[in-house]
Amino acid sequence: MPATLHHTAATEPAPPRVSTRRGLRTLEFQPGMVQSEMSLADPDRLVLSYARAMMCFVLFQPRPAHIVLVGLGGGSLAKFCHRYLPHSRITVIELRADVIALREQFAVPPDDERLRVVHADASRYMATLRGAADVLLVDGFDEDGLPPALGSAAFYADCWRALRPGGVLVANVFSYDPQYPAVLRRLRACFQQRVGSFHGIAGNNRLLFAIKPAGATATPAQRALQRAAHRRGPAWGVAHRLLAHWTVFRLRWLRAV
């Protein structure tokens, strides 16, 4: 997502590209830069590995009352949470009106008492959510990657204030992004080093999990996240990908029974 709602004619972003082939509908901001992918046969299924990995927040917050997503894209995470976490209210913050306009093409349900899509700049809107969220999923990208405003110290400070005690932030950052080391430092500083990731869980997408403590003593979730941060190597990469598949499968199974 860009850092501001106002674009000049010279900097107006190209319209998002939607293509459909072999039973999959894809959203791209640039050719080959897949933002979201949907199965036409099963629109609520999480096709992309990074989306499954982001759902691992339920390992730390299994019954969030309020989930806030930064970036709608094709709505994969919003749809999945809306269907498979029936106890949760979902707010999606999306900067681009042309992306919101695609919600029907990607089977995103209309706004209701549990789902709301807000057309706003998340770098500003986040400051209004004081103590309002149990989970923050930061997945906002534009055609150039992660906008600097969504990886800034000020934004993470607003995220900290938006979370309730025990809340979880999941930030999606490309491992090859030049901003990545600085983003990690800022996130660790803001969340008092309570930040970790699951090695190899989603290819080039590095998912950073940060927990806002509920007290002075580390919770079992915090300790588990710290252990995961030290588990490296090919075998752990496979194990973590299987963990993401299992997490998503379990949520779908529990909703079906």
Spatial distance between the Cα atoms of 135 and 166, rounded to a whole number of angstroms: 9
pLDDT exceeds 90 at position 216: no
Nearest Cα neighbor of 132 from 77, 66, 78 is: 66
**What is the per-residue pLDDT for 52?**
97
Q: Which of 97-101, 119-123, 206-210, 230-234 has the lowest mean pLDDT?
A: 230-234
Specify the fold of 48-256.
Rossmann fold (3.40.50)
Tens of pLDDT, residue by residue over 173-196, are 988 888 899 999 999 999 988 999
Average pLDDT over residues 146-170: 95
> What is the Cα–Cα distance from 244 to 237, expressed in whole angstroms?
11
Least Cα distance to 183 among 151, 229, 209 occurs for: 151
Domain definitions of the chain by residue range: 48-256
Instruction: Return the pLDDT at 30.
Output: 83
The pLDDT assigned to 213 comes to 86
C-alpha to C-alpha distance for 118 and 178, rounded to whole angstroms: 30
Question: Where does the pLDDT of residue 48 fall: very low under 50, low under 70, confident under 90, or very high at 90 and above?
Answer: very high
As annotated, the active-site residues are 139
Check: CB of residue 57 under 8 Å from CB of residue 135.
yes
pLDDT tens digits along 94-105: 999 999 999 999
Answer yes or no: is pLDDT of 145 > 60.
yes
pLDDT of residue 11: 61
pLDDT at site 218 = 66
What is the per-residue pLDDT across 63-119, written as a single tens digit (0 to 9) for each?
999 999 999 999 999 999 999 999 999 999 999 999 999 999 999 999 999 999 999
- Other CB atoms within a 10 A radius of the CB of residue 248 amount to 20
pTM of the predicted structure, to 2 decimals: 0.90
CA separation for the pair 132, 161 (Å, rounded): 9
- What pLDDT is attached to residue 6? 39
> Tell me, what's the pLDDT at 229?
66
Q: Which residues pair with 223 in a beta bridge?
A: none
**pLDDT tens digits along 233-255:** 888 889 999 999 999 999 999 88
Give the model's confidence band at 8: pLDDT under 50 very low, under 70 low, under 90 confident, else very high. very low
- What is the pLDDT averaged over residues 164-177? 92
Contact indicator for 208, 195 with CB cutoff of 8 Å: yes
